[in-house]
Structure 1
């Protein structure tokens, strides 16, 4: 089963018509119908039944539609989250700082400003010597280093 099948199925369920679903999906009706027949065969259940000029979901189809919508919402959220991480809008930034540096003044101001500008990015502060900070920067285990 492919995500495309779930998207097609949910659209058909919403439209209650293969013709309208095909128009909305910008695909031909015949291949769409065939894909849904294949899906029903793969699952071993009937998902649709005729209803006048359209179709309606069977009891199994209603349950599957609800779950399929949830899967699609989760997939879409995962894609957006991955894009957010890749674009630097989500995730965690790790800052190394010298234990002797007080968490007041410039560092506190920088942290506060960062949290205002990027509220969806977490901050992790790690106490380390300046030598450890340089090594961590080279290894990529910290994003920033702060010393007094």
Structure 2
């Protein structure tokens, strides 16, 4: 019983369970972003260009390209664990822009989504990709 309690309450960061948890977290978080926000933009690119917010005045085509980069391309790299921390930066940049600029006047219920994605990907930025990643295979062996 004592060993079971020790295993359940283990706080060792480098444990195999922690690395597996980071892998699952990376995959599910990225798939959520792709499925919820990326695919609808990809499947209707022309509609996205016409309706995407343009808070910085860069134009619909540029904003759509950046949205596709941060909602589809970067999450694929994050899932693979390839250039993970670099791939997270555009995602966090886009979600923070949504939180602070695009939805600044909206109620909290609307601002909550970009805020939660910013926190979730920011946490992954802090943790790194973990042992089960291409980054680990390529750069730590």
TM-score normalised by structure 1 residue count: 0.27
Q: Given the two structures, how large is their TM-score scaled by the length of structure 2?
A: 0.28
Higher-helix-fraction structure = 2
| Higher radius of gyration, 1 or 2 | 1
